[in-house]
């Protein structure tokens, strides 16, 4: 093989999880080209990629929308002399592209998402509560099915360094205290810690006086909450909707700890080697989406017989009270973050 097309179109967090694997296999096979087909927002993640890794933008809402758009995309890809496809997504779009390549004799390897096992894990009745294969391992297996043997070796998008501090020098001066990132929101309610409880976490670390807190998120409602916290507490900087992706990622790499939901921000922090205290409600690390290099002991949640009820957190709570998030005390989050900061000092 000389050229492998790698497909992972969305979502941002899932694309982020492919990077340690793609970079590792590319470094193990420097004579093979790896072209990653993804959407524009995710393309920004591929910082300091190996020389044999390139990114192709799929405009799935524009030029490449629908069947005819995918046909146009295929014709563009065909010109690149692809001789194998690694489908890390396995959705209708990627299936169609795979099918078209199969017509011209190009072989494919496809991710096994473990859909049956995930349904069993999230079932209300006869739940099989057990840890499933990590998505990262599932990505590795796709390349192994193509005959590529490698061990994933990845520290950070910045290698053994951190992001360029000059990129965010207009936001914050030189580091003199603990830097804590907080990304308190997610796409679905089942993955969001109640705002009033997260505010108690913010208040605690603000009152300590030796911490600077950076808030991450971009939605209008999120920014409104951030602005209120900035007005109310000291040592708070809102990153919401103000700064470019490159600047935010560089700043995240300098954090001592990041507090997130089961969200893309967990994976972004993981990609730059930052330890994450993650909060899980309707979802669970057992489904295989814990960030690269993160500790399961840093993933916080409450033991309920109904957890997890969803792989993605998008199902309404059948109890109606979202107890999986509501009953997790802010003190539990605070203690875990304090533990991480104490271990940071020892290092």
Check which CATH number belongs to the domain holding 317 and give it: 3.40.50.2000
Strand ranges for 256-326 from DSSP E? 257-261, 276-279, 299-300
Cis check: omega of the bond before 210, within 30 degrees of 0: no
Same domain, 174 and 134: no
Same domain, 135 and 188: no
Assess if residue 292 is contained within a domain.
Answer: yes
Domain end residue (candidates: 145, 177, 195):
145
Domain end residue (candidates: 116, 145, 174):
145
Neighbours of 31 (CB within 10 A): 7
Same domain, 40 and 114: yes
Q: At what angle do helices 245-252 and 264-271 cross, to 10 degrees?
A: 70
Closest CA to 6 of 41, 71, 58, 65: 58
Assess if residue 285 is contained within a domain.
Answer: yes
Closest CA to 17 of 285, 300, 314: 285
Assess if residue 289 is contained within a domain.
Answer: yes
Same domain, 179 and 217: yes
Rounded Cα gap, residues 98 and 74, in angstroms: 9
Phi and psi torsions of 308, nearest 5°: -80, 150
Same domain, 136 and 175: no
Same domain, 140 and 197: no
Classify 35 as helix, strand or coil. strand
Rounded Cα gap, residues 322 and 191, in angstroms: 9
pTM above 0.85, yes or no: yes
Assess if residue 169 is contained within a domain.
Answer: yes
Assess if residue 68 is contained within a domain.
Answer: yes
Rounded Cα gap, residues 303 and 301, in angstroms: 7
Same domain, 88 and 173: no
Strand order in the sheet with 33-38: 53-57, 33-38, 3-7, 84-87, 107-110
Same domain, 65 and 197: no
Assess if residue 157 is contained within a domain.
Answer: no
Same domain, 111 and 186: no
Structural domain boundaries, residue 121? 3-145
**pLDDT per residue as tens, the chain (347 positions):** 999 999 999 889 999 999 999 999 999 999 999 999 999 999 999 999 999 999 999 999 999 999 999 999 999 999 999 999 999 999 999 999 999 999 999 999 999 999 999 999 999 999 999 999 999 999 999 999 999 999 999 999 999 999 999 999 999 998 999 999 999 999 999 999 999 999 999 999 999 999 999 999 988 889 999 999 999 999 999 998 778 888 999 999 999 999 999 999 999 999 999 999 999 999 999 999 999 999 999 999 999 999 999 999 999 999 999 999 999 999 999 999 999 999 987 66
Rounded Cα gap, residues 255 and 341, in angstroms: 11
Assess if residue 156 is contained within a domain.
Answer: no
Same domain, 49 and 137: yes
Q: State how many domains the chain has.
A: 2
């Amino acid at each position: 093989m000389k050229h492998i097309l790698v497909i992972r179109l969305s979502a941002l967090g899932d694309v982020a999880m492919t990077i340690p694997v793609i970079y590792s296999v590319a470094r193990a096979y420097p004579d093979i080209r790896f072209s990653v087909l993804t959407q524009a927002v995710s393309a920004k993640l591929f910082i300091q990629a190996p020389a044999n890794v390139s990114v192709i933008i799929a405009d799935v809402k524009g030029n490449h929308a629908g069947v005819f758009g995918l046909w146009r995309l295929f014709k563009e890809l065909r010109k690149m002399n692809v001789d194998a496809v690694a489908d890390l997504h396995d959705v209708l779009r990627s299936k169609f592209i795979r099918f078209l390549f199969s017509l011209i004799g190009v072989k494919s390897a496809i991710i096994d998402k473990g859909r049956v096992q995930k349904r069993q894990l999230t079932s209300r009745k006869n739940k099989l509560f057990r840890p499933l294969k990590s998505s990262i391992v599932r990505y590795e297996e796709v390349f192994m099915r193509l005959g590529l043997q490698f061990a994933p070796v990845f520290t950070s998008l910045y290698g053994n360094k951190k992001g360029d501090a000059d990129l965010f020098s207009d936001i914050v001066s030189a580091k003199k205290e603990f830097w804590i990132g907080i990304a308190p929101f997610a796409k679905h309610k089942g993955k969001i810690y109640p705002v009033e409880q997260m505010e108690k976490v913010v208040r605690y670390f603000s009152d300590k006086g030796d911490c600077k807190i950076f808030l991450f998120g971009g939605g209008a409602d999120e920014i409104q909450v951030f602005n209120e916290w900035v007005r109310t507490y000291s040592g708070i900087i809102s990153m919401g909707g103000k700064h470019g992706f490159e600047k935010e990622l560089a700043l995240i790499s300098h954090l001592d700890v990041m507090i997130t939901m089961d969200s893309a921000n967990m994976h972004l922090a993981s990609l730059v080697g930052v330890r994450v205290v993650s909060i899980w409600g309707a979802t669970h690390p057992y489904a295989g989406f814990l960030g690269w290099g993160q500790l399961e002991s840093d993933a916080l949640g409450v033991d309920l017989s109904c957890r997890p009820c969803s792989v993605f957190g998008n199902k309404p709570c059948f109890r109606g009270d979202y107890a999986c998030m509501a009953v997790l005390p802010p003190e539990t989050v605070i203690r875990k973050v304090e533990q991480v900061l104490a271990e940071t000092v020892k290092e």
